[in-house]
């Protein structure tokens, strides 16, 4: 029986017969909490390596990666080229964008980091400019289900179940949390009423690769309709990196100018989306660390909660949310 790597190379050589006689080194790429597997195929004749992604059908968004790649490429977004796709074997061969992600610049000075974040925001503006009204039913069928009140509520319940109750041991159904629960309801209802555009859904620093000073996107299989500010919050309140409040404001203003948006309106919705996104992330960290055998995600909870506390202070509409987590550390 062929070993796993030998089998993957056999599949690869079926797709690319010109590589049949070339020796190849297979490097396993360890990436996040995904159920997908990534391999770097390095050919020994000096040609460019390629990435092989092997996915499963355990998540409904996994098969959406290839159509999402083609969609983003059509609007000029920086995404890897798809060299080949074997739908039966659940394998995709991709352009190798390199090993350097935006997170790796966390300790670099701002005059180096800042332009990379600006490049990342310019990429976001490309798909944020695609509005719901301009998409056909066929377009929508290719995307993941849009953000609506039900999805926002699911994210909030994820936070309540896995973090507030599971991690902090608090019964969020108690009367003392009544105002906080009402704030959650008002938040999801308000966000659901706003116009939608294309969003990445997981637009954080590990999902942006840096090549030649430009930002390139990965892990966008969750592409769907939602609020641009949700993506902005994913990036600017990313618990994996440290951004000062002043740096966050500079970047948000850069995005507002780049897209000619009203600053006050953008800032208001940004804070609402930041609370929503951070609750989703905190719920995920708690679930991954407590229930899914990935304890290293627990280390990100304090930073994410600190970010959520900052957002709740900045937005008067969110003050009552602090009851869920204050005094929990």
> Which of the 8 DSSP states describes residue 101?
B
CB-count exposure of residue 260 (10 Å: 0-12, 13-18, 19+): exposed
Q: Roughly how many angstroms between the first and final C-alpha of the chain, as a whole number?
A: 52
* Phi, psi values for residue 75, rounded to 5°: -95, 10
pLDDT at 46: 78
C-alpha angle 207-213-216 in degrees, rounded to nearest 5: 30
Residues 17, 34: Cα–Cα separation, whole Å: 30
pLDDT at 21: 84
> Which of the 8 DSSP states describes residue 22?
-
Q: Give the domain ranges of the chain.
A: 4-95, 102-324
Nearest CA to 92 among 57, 119, 52? 52
How many CA within 13 A on the CB side of residue 235? Answer: 32
C-alpha angle 278-186-198 in degrees, rounded to nearest 5: 55
What is the arrangement of strands in the sheet containing 91-95, beginning at the earlier edge strand?
Answer: 24-29, 37-43, 50-54, 91-95, 82-86
How many CA within 13 A on the CB side of residue 305? Answer: 21
CA separation, residue 237 to residues 211, 247, 273 (Å): 23, 11, 10
For residue range 142-157, what is the model confidence (pLDDT) as tens digits?
999 999 999 999 999 9
Residues 31, 54: Cα–Cα separation, whole Å: 13
Residues 130, 125: Cα–Cα separation, whole Å: 9
Q: What is the CATH number assigned to the segment(s) 102-324?
A: 3.90.1200.10
> Which of the 8 DSSP states describes residue 194?
S
> Which of the 8 DSSP states describes residue 323?
G
Q: What is the CATH number assigned to the segment(s) 4-95?
A: 3.30.200.20
**Beta strands in the chain, from DSSP E residues, in sequence order:** 24-29, 37-43, 50-54, 82-86, 91-95, 197-199, 208-211, 214-217, 224-226
Residue partners of 268: CB distance under 8 A and separation at least 6: 315
Residues 309, 325: Cα–Cα separation, whole Å: 9
Which regions of the chain are under pLDDT 70?
Answer: 1-2, 32-34, 328-329
Is residue 232 a contact partner of residue 256, using CB atoms and an 8 Å limit? no
**Beta strands in 176-309, from DSSP E residues, in sequence order:** 197-199, 208-211, 214-217, 224-226
> Which of the 8 DSSP states describes residue 108?
S
pLDDT at 1: 42
Write out the DSSP string of 46-82.
SPPPEEEEE--SSSTTGGGHHHHHHHHHHTT-----E
């Amino acid at each position: 029986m062929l070993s796993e790597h030998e089998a993957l190379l056999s599949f690869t050589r079926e797709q690319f017969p010109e590589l049949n006689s070339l020796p190849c080194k297979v490097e396993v790429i360890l990436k996040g909490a995904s159920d997908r597997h990534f391999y770097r195929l390095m050919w020994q004749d000096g040609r460019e390596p390629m990435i092989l992604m092997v996915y499963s059908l355990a998540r409904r968004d996994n098969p959406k990666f290839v159509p999402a790649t083609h969609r983003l490429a059509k609007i000029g977004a920086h995404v890897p080229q798809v060299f080949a796709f074997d739908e039966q074997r659940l394998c995709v061969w991709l352009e190798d964008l390199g090993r350097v992600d935006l997170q790796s610049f966390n300790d670099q000075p701002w005059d180096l980091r800042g332009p990379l974040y600006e490049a990342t925001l310019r990429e976001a503006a490309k798909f944020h400019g695609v509005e719901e009204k301009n998409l056909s039913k066929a377009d929508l069928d290719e995307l993941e289900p849009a953000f609506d009140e039900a999805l926002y509520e699911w994210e909030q319940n994820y936070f309540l179940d896995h973090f507030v109750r599971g991690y902090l041991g608090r019964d969020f159904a108690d009367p003392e949390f009544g105002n906080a629960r009402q704030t959650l309801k008002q938040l999801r209802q308000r966000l659901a009423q706003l116009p939608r555009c294309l969003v990445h859904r997981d637009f954080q620093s590990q999902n942006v690769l840096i090549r030649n000073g430009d930002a390139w996107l990965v892990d966008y299989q969750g592409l769907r309709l939602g609020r641009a500010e949700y993506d902005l919050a994913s990036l600017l309140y990313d618990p994996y990196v440290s951004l000062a409040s002043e740096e966050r404001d500079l970047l948000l203003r850069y995005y507002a100018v780049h897209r000619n948006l009203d600053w006050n309106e953008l800032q208001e919705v940004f804070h609402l989306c930041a609370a929503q996104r951070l609750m989703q992330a905190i719920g995920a960290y708690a679930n991954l660390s407590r229930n899914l055998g990935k304890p290293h995600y627990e280390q990100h909870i304090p930073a994410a909660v600190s970010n959520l506390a900052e957002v709740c202070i900045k937005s008067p509409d969110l003050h009552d949310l602090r009851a869920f987590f204050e005094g929990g550390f």
